[in-house]
Amino acid sequence: MEKDLKLIGPLRQLVTMEHIPLKGAIKDTKLQVIAHGGMLVAGGLIQEVGDFDDLCKKWQEKATVIQLEGDQVALPGFVDCHTHISYAGQRANDFALRNAGSSYLEIAEAGGGIWSTVSQTRICTEEDLVQLTVNRAAFLLAQGITTVEVKSGYGLQVEEELKILRAIKRANTQTAADLIPTCLAAHMLPRDYKGSAKDYLDLMEATLFPELKAQQLANRVDAFIEKTAFDAETIRPYLQRAKEMGFDLTVHADQFSTSGSQVAVELGARSADHLEASTAVEIELLAQSDTVAVALPAASIGIGCAFTPARKLLDAGACLAIASDWNPGSAPIGQLLTSACILATMEKLSNAEILSALTFRAAHALNLHDRGKLVAGMRADFILFETDNYQNITYYQGSLQPSAVWKNGEQVFSTKR
């Protein structure tokens, strides 16, 4: 028997996501669904997929056969390409104020919003922050999310940003999920900083960026382009410098006003995230670019604002990903599949479009090309749902949760343990 060779099945349905384009609208007829499927895995990678009985005849003498019971549907592990799960405290008061009529911007200007979480995170020890991040990653892993992007941005001082990114790096060794760190030091101009926005950004690029490289804490830089954060002209040199230093870029764009997506496209950012305020101009700009449009429906639910124009983006030819935006203020729900299914209802997205946005298209937003499809050569990151029809996964809008989660060819979560 060859070492580490496993044959997993039978699967009522195996949804491979193969042959689906990176950009544009997708009909459900494009989904490749293998009935009575099986997967051969070894060394953390998928070696072969196909009919389970055929694979058994070919490999049962060499592989350990892991026989699944009942109806199981397999999907690629979900990729959550935008989260803020490394933080301390909560902002229940913000939610109450919004529901009582205050706007997101009004709450921020009064000392709530991001600054409230910055204050709570700064007094949190690195050790406690590691544990908080690990706990939230475990919550996401149980939802089938095997890759999680995690932003800093609640430190807004060099040492505090480094503390958060160290906590993310340490947390990554204590969870089965892959945590992908992003530096969001340009989340907002800290209220206790005495200089200008330009001075603050100059300080971050001069002192923080080199440390990110030296300590190998992040290869991604993000910025919030908005009235309560940084305007397009001020942030552009900061992002340009990050790009010159070899960082991948992403941008919080067009949440309440436009201009962010234009900066993202001009600088070749991997993604432009939010886009609730995007108009026809921004939609066309994104569609003609290689920048992934990332919808964050949980933020629309949390704030009570319009959803990302996902249907228009897809029809224009954009690459659409969907992420949870899990954060303590605008998106505390932390439920990726539920929020994606709500977006699908509001924007009329096909199952193929939802699943692509949660798998290989989301991975592309993180510049990861080894996951998101169940095909030979890809990471053996997959999730099993106890059902006889993959359509039930979106039909139940998140109430049907994974029965098992596999990461790099090893089962890391099961409801039957």
pTM: 0.97
Pick the closest to residue 273 from 259, 246, 292 (CA basis): 292
The structure tokens listed for 406 are 């596999």
Give me the domains of the chain, ranges plus CATH numbers: 6-76+372-414 (2.30.40.10), 79-365 (3.20.20.140)
What averages of pLDDT result for each successive group of 10 residues across the chain (417 residues)?
84 98 98 98 98 96 95 98 97 90 81 91 98 98 98 98 98 98 98 97 98 98 95 98 98 97 98 98 98 98 95 98 97 97 98 98 98 98 98 98 98 90
- Structure confidence at residue 3 (pLDDT): 64
- Structure confidence at residue 1 (pLDDT): 43
- Structure confidence at residue 118 (pLDDT): 97
SS (H, E, C) the chain: CCCCCEEEEEEEEEECCCCCCCCCCCCHHHCCEEEEEEEEEECCEEEEEEEHHHHHHHHCCCCEEEECCCCCEEEECEEECCCCCCCCCCCHHHHHHHHCCCCHHHHHHCCCHHHHHHHHHHCCCHHHHHHHHHHHHHHHHCCCEEEEEEECCCCCCHHHHHHHHHHHHHHHCCCCCEEEEEEEEECCCCCCCCCCHHHHHHHHHHHHHHHHHHCCCCCEEEEEECCCCECHHHHHHHHHHHHHCCCEEEEEECCCCCCHHHHHHHCCCCEEEECCCCCHHHHHHHHCCCCEEEECHHHHHHHCCCCCCHHHHHHHCCCEEECCCCCCCCCCCCCHHHHHHHHHHHHCCCHHHHHHHHCHHHHHHCCCCCCCCCCCCCECCEEEECCCCCHHHHHCCCCCCCCEEEECCEEEEECCC
Distances (CA, A) of 321 to 4, 326, 416: 33, 15, 31
